[in-house]
A and B are shown apart, each in its own frame.
Chain A
Amino acid sequence: EPEVTQTPSHQVTQMGQEVILRCVPISNHLYFYWYRQILGQKVEFLVSFYNNEISEKSEIFDDQFSVERPDGSNFTLKIRSTKLEDSAMYFCASSEKGKGSRETQYFGPGTRLLVL
């Protein structure tokens, strides 16, 4: 069964450093998402992406964050200058369709980011 994959599974970085989290969505899916879960808190939406542009972003997704689909398979989340509060589990998801559609989002296993 096709699945969403994410790398790395764990990342430790120093505050102020840039990190790139990588995701490979399911191959025929067109909509891509990033969510995060700070320890002990809800899973929160960050951004959705379709047709090479951001469809929607949350208040969390400020100028320090960016997303990109650099090729036909990868979908990345970049944090330019990490802060302590960026420490969280980051989930990538994809769906065949998205906005306004009855489509299921399939999640990857997550990347646990720790900012020191």
Chain B
Amino acid sequence: AQSVTQPDIHITVSEGASLELRCNYSYGATPYLFWYVQSPGQGLQLLLKYFSGDTLVQGIKGFEAEFKRSQSSFNLRKPSVHWSDAAEYFCAVVNNQGGKLIFGQGTELSVKP
């Protein structure tokens, strides 16, 4: 069965530090992968997506993610975190047969001044 695992429930980083949020997926075929962000009281906003081609994808707000098929991973990175990046981040894979999104547990990011 398809699944997405985000091993880190909560991460705290200092403002200006680099960030990497981990995501591992289980999917038999070529996955379509997404990262969404949820700020308090807000909906889920798409950060970036991977469908095919270049395995390093750029998103909004300075985020990027790298698809590594050999590791079944799609980790999210940002070179320098801003206080406004504090939010919950969700990795998801789409079921190509049905179109539904399968989400990971989410990683809550806190940013220290």
Contacts and interface: CB of A to CB of B under 8 A. Distances in A.
Contacts of B44: 43, 91, 93, 107
Interface size classification for chain B = 20 to 34
B45 to A, nearest CB: 8
B98 A56 contact: yes
B98 A99 contact: yes
Contacts, number: 61
Interface residues of A, number: 30
Contacts of A99: 97-99
B42 A33 contact: no
Interface of B: 32, 34, 36, 41-46, 49, 51, 90, 92, 94, 96-106
Interface of A: 4, 6, 31, 33, 35, 41-45, 48, 55-56, 58, 91, 93, 95, 98-110
